[in-house]
Structure 1
Amino acid sequence: MFAVIASLSSAAAQSLPGDFVYLRDIDPSIIQDIRYATSNNFVGRPLAGYDAGECVVKREVGLRLKAVQQELAAQNLSLKMFDCYRPARASLDMVKWSQNGRETASERRYNPKIAKTELFRLGYIASRSQHSTGAALDLTLVDLRADNSAKYDPTKTYADCTAPVEARAPEGSVDMGTGYDCTDPKGHTAATSINAEQRAWRKRLVAAMARQGFVNYSKEWWHFSLPGAGGAAYDFPIQPRRN
């Protein structure tokens, strides 16, 4: 009887609303680095609602990501998730951050040319994000044959997100020309200020995602959404996944 109660309690703790799922339950081979659950992001701390570094998505989105991953695996590549479902409270947390009247050196790494008060007006951050519907994603590619062992060191001073990959904070992924969440024209998907190899990686990612119906956001090479899979915005916190 105790085992049954414990099992029911665990299931209740992990239940998700609507048609949301943990991506690990769909495809555990997809690498996850949920940055807003850490201090390694433009705010410099975990955002409200990120109680665990888990990618949560709508089921259809997860199944399509699995199909993308299967295609990439044959090329010794993998998807790497930076952000998936985002609680609405996290977007409001970003709004408060943008209005706090301070800009630190670590924050400027992500927006070296744009004041953070301008990020919403210019379309880099939204107070109501499609991420909160479970149909938007931030991601990149990992070359599984490369040395991806370098880790972010919070005590180290890194160059800004537009600098050469050797000087930027390590992300354990292919060089897309900028770091993740780089609010700069160089981060625009079709930017001409990056080299041919970096452009080729971006095109490869966009093409792989497009084959499963995902659409890229032109100002962010890392941002994709699945039209028609969204709906209402949610605000439930991201909790640890239980096996």
Structure 2
Amino acid sequence: MRVVAAVLALQVVQAVPGVVPGTAGAHGAERLPGFVALRDVDPSIVEDIRYAGPRNFTGAVVDGYEEPVCLLARPAAEALRRAQRELLRSGRALKVYDCYRPQRAVDRFVRWAGDPADQSTKAEYYPEVDKARLIPEGYIAAKSGHSRGSTVDVTVVALPGRRELDMGTAFDFFGSLSHTDDPRVAGEARENRRLLKRVLGAQGFVNLPEEWWHFTLRPEAFPDTFFDVPVSVAAGRP
């Protein structure tokens, strides 16, 4: 969730400065051109879209998540499929927590961070960081690479039970323990982080050092474009 520059790259009408809306698809529903639903590319990848439900740091469904579906620019989805094939050979699989994220969801994060009265999730997600520091320290930002469609939050699970491997912290834990190479994370958790980084790196994904779960496919399909289409199955269909 680091600050990035917003530059208009498509010749379409802007709904918000620097943010690009989608186009009308079947029955007038907004869609994301060049995007696909991950389940249509590889249904074996586990999806646990946290912001489509209350199990996230805001404690509620986040604006813009109409359905719990992973949407990605097609090259990113296909790269995840290749990584999944390698993991399946060893009885493991990918699990995604978040994929494409509309700008309105990012705006909701900013509003949440600016509300000091809401501390309901502090014990789980930011026990050692004052909420007032989440924006200044870069945990929450006004723009997110997720809105460009080539970034994914992901972990590894063991099959057949889909048990999440130990990564040292939970997803979206705000603190330095979430840094991929934090020296305090050792043993099995450290090896699991290295596994995730190696498998995704082999397919062109680059890890954000501050978040072990955050990866961006390079080059990005839409490197200068931030979309604001709600997350739904229809948005990822032609």
Q: TM-score, normalised by structure 1?
A: 0.81
Q: Secondary structure at the match of 1:221?
A: coil
1:33 to 39, 48, 51: 48
- Post-superposition Cα deviations, 1:185-232, rounded to whole Å, max 9, x if no partner, equal 111100111231110000000000000000000110000001221330
User: How far has the Cα of 1:233 moved from its partner?
Assistant: 0.4
Sequence identity of aligned pairs in percent? 37
Match of 1:75 in 2: 90
Distance across 2 between alignment mates of 1:141 and 1:224: 13
Distance across 2 between alignment mates of 1:178 and 1:212: 24
Match of 2:215 in 1: 224
Distance across 2 between alignment mates of 1:39 and 1:132: 20
1:43–1:107 contact (8 Å) kept in structure 2: no
- Post-superposition Cα deviations, 1:56-87, rounded to whole Å, max 9, x if no partner, equal 00000000000000111001110000000000
User: How far has the Cα of 1:107 moved from its partner?
Assistant: 3.1
Distance across 1 between alignment mates of 2:100 and 2:120: 28
Tell whether 2:198 aligns with 1:207: yes
Distance across 2 between alignment mates of 1:12 and 1:135: 27
Tell whether 2:80 aligns with 1:65: yes
- Which deviates the most, 132-141 or 101-110? 101-110
Tell whether 2:195 aligns with 1:180: no
Distance across 2 between alignment mates of 1:67 and 1:13: 33
Any gaps of 5 or more consecutive residues in structure 2?
1-24
Match of 2:5 in 1: none
Match of 2:17 in 1: none
Match of 2:101 in 1: 86
Q: Secondary structure at the match of 1:109?
A: helix
**Whose RCO is larger (CA < 8 A, sep 6+)?**
2
User: How far has the Cα of 1:103 moved from its partner?
Assistant: 3.9
Tell whether 2:228 aligns with 1:235: yes
Match of 1:110 in 2: 125
- Post-superposition Cα deviations, 1:167-197, rounded to whole Å, max 9, x if no partner, equal xxxxx41110100001111111001112311
- Which deviates the most, 31-40 or 111-120? 111-120
Q: TM-score, normalised by structure 2?
A: 0.83
Q: Secondary structure at the match of 2:177?
A: helix
Distance across 2 between alignment mates of 1:14 and 1:82: 24
- Computed over aligned residues only, the root mean square deviation of the Cα atoms, in angstroms, reads 2.0
Any gaps of 5 or more consecutive residues in structure 1?
1-9, 149-171
1:114–1:184 contact (8 Å) kept in structure 2: yes
- Post-superposition Cα deviations, 1:119-173, rounded to whole Å, max 9, x if no partner, equal 222122221000000011101000114x45xxxxxxxxxxxxxxxxxxxxxxx41
2:182 to 175, 191, 199: 191
* Structure 1 segments (4+ residues) deviating >3 Å: 10-15, 240-243
1:124–1:219 contact (8 Å) kept in structure 2: no
Change (3 A) 1:12 1:212: farther
> What is the identity, as a one-letter code, of the residue corresponding to 2:179?
H
Count of residues paired in the alignment = 211
Distance across 2 between alignment mates of 1:105 and 1:235: 27
> What is the identity, as a one-letter code, of the residue corresponding to 1:116?
K
- Which deviates the most, 187-196 or 59-68? 187-196
Match of 1:139 in 2: 154
Match of 2:58 in 1: 43
> What is the identity, as a one-letter code, of the residue corresponding to 2:103?
A
> What is the identity, as a one-letter code, of the residue corresponding to 1:49?
G
